[in-house]
Amino acid sequence: GGGPAGTAGTLALLLGEGSKRLPQAIIIGVKKGGTRALLEFLRVHPDVRAVGAEPHFFDRNYERGLAWYRELMPRTLEGQITMEKTPSYFVTKEAPARISSMARGTKLIVVVRDPVTRAISDYTQTLSKKPDIPTFESLTFKNRTTGLIDTSWSAIQIGIYAKHLENWLLYFPIGQILFVSGERLISDPAGELGRVQDFLGLKRIITDKHFYFNKTKGFPCLKKAEGSSKPHCLGKTKGRTHPDIDQEVVQRLRDFYRPFNMKFYQMTGQDFGWD
């Protein structure tokens, strides 16, 4: 029947055919950028098969070897794409060399988001797990009076995208990396998904017909999730309310990130409009 998504294909998968392949595309970043949303949206495509949990292979489990990694993958048919997402890869020093040595042609996707809101979101997530951590303000500054920002704090470090990207460009041509706007993924999910499908060489099957905007969550949701007829929004841990951060601190962070953002816009040839 009609290609991989046809009846014969479905039957083959039910019979346990198809084979596990190393991923041809990986969502490598960034934490709190919108990677889960992107993966869930992409899984609507009949030719995308993805690992649900984050494998953390190229950062934490590399000693286990490629055979272990491959075993985690879903079975695919000819013409289907195998994918995984682990947002910490983007900031892992060794990851580019490791992925490149698996397959130099691996397509990479980075979901980026305004580094200031990303940092606050990161902090908010930590706060939900450890309510007794210091305030955002006190973690942001090495020294509050001089206004020196603590770049060693991971919440701040991750958002220096230009710096991390330089590391990837030692191993991958820029054209092999797609940068998805976390903001546009929310305001225009179908538009961003169109770019992603083109990049992956997929037919543009996911369109605005697949989404509705959930006003309570402030998020686009899927009318039908993968393999279900029920509408599907991301889970309770997504779209948390951010704490109020002192406006002066936010402004200091905006100033801090501005030169790095400009550099990142130059490197990617994309203006993300964060300022």
Catalytic residue ranges:
32
The answer to the question of whether 33 is labelled as a binding residue is yes
The answer to the question of whether 268 is labelled as a binding residue is no
Residue 47's nearest CA partner among 176, 159, 206 is: 206
The answer to the question of whether 32 is labelled as a binding residue is yes
Torsion-angle region of residue 11: left (phi > 0), alpha (psi -120 to 50) or beta? alpha
Measured distance CA(98)–CA(190) in Å, rounded: 32
Q: Where are the beta strands (DSSP E) in 70-106?
A: 75-76, 81-85
The answer to the question of whether 21 is labelled as a binding residue is no
Measured distance CA(177)–CA(214) in Å, rounded: 30
Task: Count CA within 13 A, CB hemisphere, residue 263.
Answer: 13
The answer to the question of whether 101 is labelled as a binding residue is no
Measured distance CA(22)–CA(6) in Å, rounded: 23
How many CB atoms are located within 10 Å of the residue 132 CB? 5
The answer to the question of whether 240 is labelled as a binding residue is yes
The answer to the question of whether 113 is labelled as a binding residue is yes
The answer to the question of whether 118 is labelled as a binding residue is no
The answer to the question of whether 238 is labelled as a binding residue is yes
The answer to the question of whether 36 is labelled as a binding residue is yes
- 116 close to 257: Cβ distance less than 8 angstroms: yes
Binding site as annotated, residues: 32-36, 113, 121, 238-242
Binding site as annotated, residues for 3'-phosphoadenylyl sulfate: 32-36, 113, 121, 238-242
